[in-house]
Structure 1
Amino acid sequence: MVSWSGHIVPFIVTVAIWFIATGLIAWADNRERATFSRSLVIGSVAGIAGLVVILVASLSAEVWAVYLAFVGALMVWGWHELSFLTGAAAGPRRGPSDPSLTGIARFRQAAGTVMHHEVALALTALLLISLSWNVPNQIGATVFVLMFGMRLISKINLFVGVPNTTSEMLPEHLAYLKTYFGRNRMTVLLALSVAGLVAMSAWFATLALAAPVGSAQMVGGSLLFTLSLLGVLEHLFLALPFRDGMLWGWAIPKRAGPQRKAAGSQERNVTT
């Protein structure tokens, strides 16, 4: 039986936080570079606060603690995303791919563009797992590891190639990452990724439905189900002709097109 407090409310909370948080990060990363240092300071404070929140919430198995740990994990995740999309923690390679490379050589070059970010995510995941190993509430570590896994799968799919490589939310200073995307095509990997995420979502759903009504286990299972379902949706976006701007256009500043930039350059030349 579906419960309002145990199933519906966690679903609404997860979708709302996902939508708003994604938009805020896109807004911060697409502003002028002069604002990045301030954004990183704010993001770092939020990320450290998120770690503290997870530690505090992990000591309790009450419903409020599950929500608190969930929010804390998203705060830490947002810190990492902000660091990556501002370019502060991306990788040692900061330029376009070599079109002559294929196979392992191309993969190694692509890995160099995100290496620092992936290592930071992996170390944070290991830290949260170690801190949550024998505590009553492990939702914070579980949420972070789940998001890390889903993001890693999506990056591999983009490297191999997907039908839809829309990247409107990618900041201009990271535009070189597009050169590492595979050609537009449907692959077995993407199909298996979607199928695997659907199966995982179904497993979380069974856990949420089987838990006692109103319990922390029910809320936790519902939060994880919704999060994995959003992962399915994001991977479907890679297969369908969907534009990021359809959902988060409100958060992305309008960028000057080539003609507008050229006109601006000519106007500056005339006035000097």
Structure 2
Amino acid sequence: MAQHGLPALFTLFLWWFSTGLILYLDGLRRETFRWTMLGASTLLLGGLTGLHALAWDTGVAAAWLGFVCGVLCWAWIEVAFLTGMVTGPRRSACPAGARGWVRFRAALAAILWHELAILALAALIVALTWGAPNRIGTWTFLAFWAMRQSAKLNLYLGVRNLAEEFLPDHLRHLESFFARRRMNLLFPVSVVAGVTACALLSLAALDPGATPHQAVGFTLLATLVALGLLEHVFMVMPIPADILWRWGLASRAPAARPARPATSWGAPS
């Protein structure tokens, strides 16, 4: 229980609470964002310092703390994006009727600085833990990255549930890059890849020869990937995606959201 049950429950709680907290902070008045970013940047510095300090520690506590440090680093990415501090050079909606390469370039321009920030931070984390035995935090950050990239691409290609309610008002233009479809060709690939990763991590965690550090670390990672799969399932289910985080969305002023105009690439099918 201590090596598997507790890490799984901890990951579930941290995923749920941290997501809700970020949504709550990003729903506050924009003049609060500088303080939110200051706090997130302080936690990022702590996370990076912790990853480096724990890199050669293979104790059980180092697995827990390394995971938390990886989450703190990814939290900065989410906060920087949702506050609008780090998004992209394009701050307007997708051109009407845009298709193919034109639409892709516009979508990439809307999140370019965000993607480059992830690349830079991932490179720094890998460098800080290069060759070290404890890379639970590194794999945590990379798992978040893989799951979020998959989610972005599926939203771009088209899914049933777009979860637009998670976007704050200052990022509403990003809705124009989403497509509403029942399914896209990437979605089954994303699910199969996620299930495979989750299964492999679970087998590693349950391996009789695994050390306590490995058992805890791989359980944390397996649970995180499973929750990423759950987020993907929400994309194709006819249920509101915000059902788990309505408390986090409570900071946003109630307002009727205008319907997004249907387009040929984003129309329901």
Q: TM-score, normalised by structure 1?
A: 0.91
The answer to whether the Cα contact below 8 Å between 1:6 and 1:213 also exists between their aligned partners in 2 is: no
Match of 2:200 among 196, 199, 203: 203
Secondary structure at the counterpart of residue 50 of structure 2: helix
Cα distance in 1, alignment partners of residues 141 and 51 from structure 2: 11
Equivalent-residue separation in structure 2 for 1:219 and 1:210 (angstroms): 11
CA–CA distance in structure 1, aligned partners of residues 241 and 44 of structure 2: 25
1:87–1:254 Cα change, 3 Å: closer
Based on CA coordinates, which of the two structures has the bigger radius of gyration? 1
Work out the percentage of aligned pairs sharing the same amino acid.
35
Cα displacement (A) at 1:80:
1.1
Distance in structure 2 (CA, Å) of the matches to 1:243 and 1:184: 16
Residue in 2 aligned with 1:97? 94
Structure-1 separation of matches of 2:193 and 2:256: 41
Distance in 1, Cα, partners of 2:183 & 2:119: 29
CA contact (8 A) 2:161 2:180 kept: no
- Counterpart in the other structure of 1:152: 149
Q: Which moved more, 1:175-184 or 1:212-221?
A: 212-221
Query: Which position in structure 2 is the counterpart of 1:269?
Result: none
Q: Which residue of 1 aligns with 2:253?
A: 255
1:140 counterpart = 2:151: no
1:233 is aligned to 230
Q: Which residue of 2 aligns with 1:264?
A: none
Written as runs of structure 1 = structure 2, the 5 A alignment for 1:98-137 is 98-137=95-134
Cα contact 1:168–1:243 (8 A) shared by 2: no
Determine if contact 1:128/1:141 at 8 Å carries over to the other structure.
yes
Residue 168 of structure 1: aligned partner: 165
d(CA) in 1 for partners of 2:80 and 2:10? 25
Distance in 1 between residues matched to 2:244 and 2:4, nearest whole Å? 24
Q: What is the distance in 2 between the residues matched to 1:211 and 1:126?
A: 33
* Secondary structure class of the residue paired with 2:3: helix
Letter in 1 for 2:255: G
Is 1:205–1:225's contact at 8 Å kept on the other side of the alignment?
A: yes
Match runs of 1:26-37 below 5 Å: 26-37=23-34
**What are the ranges of 5 or more consecutive residues in structure 2 without an aligned counterpart?**
258-269
**C-alpha separation between the residues in 2 aligned to 1:135 and 1:121?**
21
Structure showing greater relative contact order (alpha-carbon pairs closer than 8 Å, 6 or more residues apart): 2
Q: What does the per-residue CA deviation read over 1:224-272, in whole Å, with 9 as the maximum and x for residues that have no partner?
A: 100110111011111112323311101112423249xxxxxxxxxxxxx
Q: Give yes or no for contact 2:159–2:182 (8 Å, CA) kept in 1.
A: yes
Q: Is the 8 A contact 1:73 1:141 kept in 2?
A: yes
Which one of the candidate residues 243, 251, 261 is aligned to 1:246?
243
Q: What residue in structure 2 maps to residue 46 of structure 1?
A: 43
Shift of the alpha carbon at 1:34?
1.0
Separation of aligned partners in 1, 2:218 and 2:256? 48
Worse-matched range after superposition: 144-153 or 244-253: 244-253
CA distance in 2, matches of 1:211, 1:85: 42
Within the candidate set 215, 219, 224, 1:218 is matched to 215
Distance across 2 between alignment mates of 1:72 and 1:102:
40
| 1:204 and 1:222 in contact (8 A); partners too | yes
- Taking only aligned residues, the RMSD between alpha carbons, in angstroms, comes to 1.4
Runs of 5+ in structure 1 lacking a partner? 260-272
Q: In the superposition, relative to structure 1, how do residues 66 and 172 fare at CA in structure 2: closer, same or farther (>3 Å)?
A: same
Is 1:80 paired with 2:77? yes
TM value normalised by structure 2: 0.92
Paired positions, count: 256
Relative to structure 1, is the Cα distance of residues 14 and 211 closer, same or farther in structure 2, using a 3 angstrom cutoff?
Answer: farther
CA distance in 1, matches of 2:252, 2:93: 24
**Partner secondary structure for residue 249 of structure 1:** coil
